[in-house]
Amino acid sequence: MRVAVLKGGFSSEREVSLVSGKACAHSLKNEGFDVIEIDVSVNLWEQLSNADPDIVFNALHGDWGEDGRVQGVLDLFGAPYTHSGVMASALAMDKHRSKVLFRDMGINVPYGLLVPREIVSLEHPLTPPYVIKPNGQGSSKDIFIVERDEEPIKDLKNKDEMGDLVLIEEFCPGRELTVTVMDGRAIGVTEVVPRSSWYDFNSKYKKDGSKHILPALIDSEVSDLCLTWAVLAHNVLGCRGITRSDFKFKDDKQSNSSKADNLVMLELNTQPGMTPTSLAPEQAEKIGISFDKLCRWIVEDASWPR
């Protein structure tokens, strides 16, 4: 069976995708598949036609690769492919709209709004502290935390890559938690302890950038809620295959608030990283699924249309 592994592309997360794609291709070869690696260009249809795969493994990250556009090409191409389809991918990549759906399902999310980037560079849209992030990117690219008593970030007006509208969210302090959903089941809760002040790009992808505690040393009530919300979010967006949901938990023992009130969901990722430091493969390994077997399962889960 020939598997085409899509990697690279031309988003800001290209380098991460190249690492993910290379690792997945290596594992699939170990599992006996005939693998062809495709560094995706604007001529993807031609690349796919030349490769003539039985299955397409999507290892792209970032805009175009996980926002529904490549999925649309794959739907037209007609070969079974991995991960989520067009609608789920587009919704999950749109952080603001996905959180509207999560909130309607009873999942706590940070208060946020979409604001023109130029306005944010001139005045505070929320009382600091708050977070500025692109509405459709991942890997903690171009994220800014505006602290108390800090002036608006004037250079934001030059950050065209963030888009005309940026997402402004209240800053949620607390512990970083993440949950992988595989085959419709949440498989574990990891606490991520970044070496820097927050879980930025370097913390995610640099060696020793963060410490992973699996299972997370948290109250069972909080752990169960993370698992429940991750599956609920996966289902409400119509996701397929494997996803990863990220949370913040304010472990404030002095607060009168319930544990549920102190937990918020930050986002759902339909294309979890598959690098040596990635969280989803680590959680799969914890329940006895090696990286090679995880890649095999993802291929065997492929279908068309998604």
| Residue position matching structure tokens 């502290």 | 129
Is 81 an annotated catalytic residue? no
Catalytic residue among 85, 246, 278, 296: 246
Mean pLDDT check: name the lowest of 50-59, 137-146, 155-164, 199-208.
199-208
Question: What is the spatial order of strands in the sheet that 144-146 belongs to?
Answer: 112-116, 165-170, 130-134, 144-146
User: Residue 12: pLDDT band by 50, 70, 90 thresholds?
Assistant: confident
From 89, 139, 223, 278, the catalytic residue: 139
pLDDT band at 223 (very low <50, low <70, confident <90, very high): very high
Tokens of 227: 């698992």
Is 303 catalytic? The answer is no
Q: Which of 94, 169, 191, 267 is catalytic?
A: 267
Establish whether 255 is a catalytic residue: no
Identify the active-site residue in 27, 205, 223, 278. Answer: 205
pLDDT of residue 140: 56
- Distance from C-alpha of 166 to C-alpha of 122, rounded to nearest angstrom: 14
Token pair 């699939």 in the structure block, residue: 28
Give the three-state DSSP class for 159.
Answer: coil
DSSP-assigned letter for residue 7: E
Q: Which of 17, 20, 89, 269 is catalytic?
A: 269
Check pLDDT > 70 for residue 139. Answer: no
Tell me what pLDDT residue 199 has.
52
In the structure, what pLDDT confidence band is assigned to residue 210 with cuts at 50, 70 and 90?
confident
Cβ pair 108, 170 in contact under 8 A: no
Catalytic annotation present for 262: no
Q: Does domain 92-109+173-294 have CATH number 3.30.230.70?
A: no
Say which of 11, 12, 13, 84 is annotated catalytic.
13
User: Domain 2-83 - what CATH class?
Assistant: alpha beta
Task: Specify whether 13 is catalytic.
Answer: yes
Active site residue 139: yes
Domain ranges of the chain: 2-83, 92-109+173-294, 112-170
Catalytic residue among 273, 278, 296, 306: 273
Is residue 301 predicted with pLDDT exceeding 70? yes
8 Å CB contact between 223 and 216 = yes
Q: Report pLDDT for 159.
A: 92
What is the average per-residue pLDDT within 215-223?
Answer: 96
Peptide bond preceding 129: is omega within 30 degrees of 0, i.e. cis?
yes
Could you tell me the fold of the domain covering 112-170? Dna Ligase; domain 1 (3.30.1490)
The whole-model pTM stands at: 0.91
